[in-house]
């Protein structure tokens, strides 16, 4: 029996079972919450990717600027460029890694909070006390880690040490191979790799920044002609400083500090050369070799020839040339002004061919 179409509208609607309605409502709620969670996760991932690209571009911009300034294509070649450029690259890359890790942790925490709030707002309130208690416990137990991280961030940001520096951390001494916000890896002369927590570092002695000083004491017989010995030593050191192979490693003219001590068998005469930080040992070795040869040529015996590292009060008094602050003197009328002269002022050639300073 066929029912006309006009009569179909008048048929009573069959109600859905209650369990089916409950199932539809549950599926709707689950779908909406899943959609909200997906939106939160996708948003955090997109924000993380955008921040990563921004951080990476900033780091690359700074690194490329340093490379272009030094006219090099490889970061390793910056070792032959000014020291500031190389350290800028190291510090920028380290800080970029730190900033990226901070961004990742913050995004993960924010995503977890938003997801829990989307799933059950009441659950977030109940978890507040629990997370506060857990955070307090972790903060108390991980205070050493927090101390290490904070101290490491200051070490990196203030450029106290860098990869390749020769340092004395008190706990270990050697060449820095890796610097992070929590630990610093130092390789000593025996090849042992030391892992030093940044929070335990209370002092840092960096022997690779700025300049260094090679201090050499020469012992000569007690009856030697002191003036001849000093003249020979200073002339030899000046010859080393003018050598094209070595003059780029020496930053100032050699200084003769003169007679240091008089013993029962020898007179100790000291000469010093201010060098680049990473060239101290090479310059000292070459200077010792030339001094020995020059004194033997003058028929002066050399019973002892050693390097000296002044420490304590002696080291503090002997730090001449450490760039003290310069102040402008008071104006005095009637006194001619003496122009500053550089250490290695190039000689000018006059019209008649002779050279003049």
pLDDT tens digits, one per residue of 10-35? 545 566 666 666 677 777 777 777 88
Q: Is residue 12 part of a domain?
A: no
Give every strand in the sheet of 205-206, ordered side by side: 193-197, 183-187, 173-179, 166-168, 205-206
Angle (CA) 238 243 249, round 5°: 85
301/216 same-domain check: yes
**pLDDT confidence of residue 271:** 92
Find the distance separating the first CA and the last CA of the chain, reported in whole Å.
Answer: 127
Contact by Cβ (8 Å): 179, 204: no
Q: Which of 34, 144, 347 is nearest to 152 (CA)?
A: 144
Q: Is residue 30 part of a domain?
A: yes
Q: Give the pLDDT confidence score for residue 172 in this predicted structure.
A: 87
Do residues 97 and 179 lie in contact, with contact meaning Cβ atoms separated by under 8 Å? no
Domain extent at residue 90: 23-141
Q: Domain for residue 1, yes or no?
A: no
Phi, psi dihedral angles at 83 (to 5 degrees)? -60, -35
Domain presence at residue 9? no
Q: Is residue 152 pLDDT above 50, yes or no?
A: yes
Residue 215 domain-assigned?
yes
Asked whether residue 183 falls in the same domain as residue 197, the answer is: yes
Query: Alpha helices, DSSP H only, in the chain?
Result: 5-8, 18-70, 83-119, 121-141, 143-157, 226-242, 280-297, 312-317
Sign of CA dihedral 329, 330, 331, 336: negative
Check residues 330 and 13 and name the one with the higher pLDDT: 13
Per-residue pLDDT tens digits for 229-271:
999 999 999 999 999 888 888 988 899 988 888 877 788 899 9
The model's pLDDT over 165-210, given as tens digits with 9 standing for 90+, comes to 888 888 888 888 888 878 899 998 888 999 999 888 888 988 887 7
- The SS3 assignment for 350 reads coil
Q: What is the CATH number of the domain that holds 245?
A: 3.30.70.100
Number of domains in the chain: 3
Confidence class for position 81, pLDDT limits 50, 70, 90: very low
Q: What is the rounded distance in angstroms from the CA atom of residue 34 to the CA atom of residue 40?
A: 10
Tell me the pLDDT of the chain averaged across its residues: 75
- Residues 169 and 248 both lie in one domain: no
99 and 49 in a common domain = yes
Residues 192, 174: Cα–Cα separation, whole Å: 9
Last residue of a domain, one of 141, 164, 181: 141
User: What is residue 331's three-state secondary structure?
Assistant: coil
Residue 352, pLDDT above cutoff 60 = no
Same domain, 137 and 27: yes
């Amino acid at each position: 029996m066929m029912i006309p179409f006009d009569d179909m509208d008048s048929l009573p609607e069959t109600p859905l079972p209650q369990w089916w309605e409950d199932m539809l409502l549950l599926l709707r709620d689950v779908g909406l919450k899943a959609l909200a969670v997906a939106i939160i996760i996708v948003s955090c991932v997109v924000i993380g990717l955008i921040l990563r690209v921004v951080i990476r571009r900033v780091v690359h911009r700074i690194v490329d600027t340093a490379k272009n300034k030094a006219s090099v294509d490889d970061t390793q070649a910056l070792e032959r460029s000014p020291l500031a450029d190389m350290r800028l690259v190291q510090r920028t890359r380290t800080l970029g890694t730190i900033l990226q890790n901070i961004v990742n942790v913050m995004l993960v925490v924010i995503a977890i909070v938003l997801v829990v709030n989307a799933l059950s707002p009441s659950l977030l309130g109940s978890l507040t006390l629990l997370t506060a208690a857990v955070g307090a416990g972790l903060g108390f137990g991980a205070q050493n880690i927090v101390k290490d991280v904070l101290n490491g961030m200051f070490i990196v940001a203030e450029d106290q040490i860098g990869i390749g520096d020769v340092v004395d951390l008190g706990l270990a001494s050697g060449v820095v191979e890796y610097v992070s916000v929590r630990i610093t890896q130092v390789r000593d002369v025996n090849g042992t790799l030391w892992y030093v927590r940044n929070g335990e570092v209370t002092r840092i002695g960096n022997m690779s920044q700025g300049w260094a000083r090679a201090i050499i004491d020469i012992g000569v017989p007690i009856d030697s002609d002191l003036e001849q010995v000093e003249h020979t030593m200073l002339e030899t050191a000046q010859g080393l400083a003018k050598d094209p192979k070595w003059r780029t490693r020496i930053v100032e003219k050699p200084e003769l500090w003169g007679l240091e001590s008089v013993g029962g068998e020898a007179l100790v005469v000291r000469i010093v050369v201010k060098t680049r930080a990473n060239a101290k040992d090479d310059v000292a070795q070459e200077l010792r070799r030339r001094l020995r040869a020059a004194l033997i040529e003058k028929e002066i015996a050399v019973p002892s020839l050693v390097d000296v590292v002044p420490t304590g009060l002696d080291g503090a008094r002997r730090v001449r040339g450490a760039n003290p602050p310069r102040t402008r003197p008071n104006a005095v009328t009637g006194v001619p002004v003496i122009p500053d002269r550089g250490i290695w002022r190039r000689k000018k050639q006059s019209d008649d061919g002779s050279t003049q300073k």
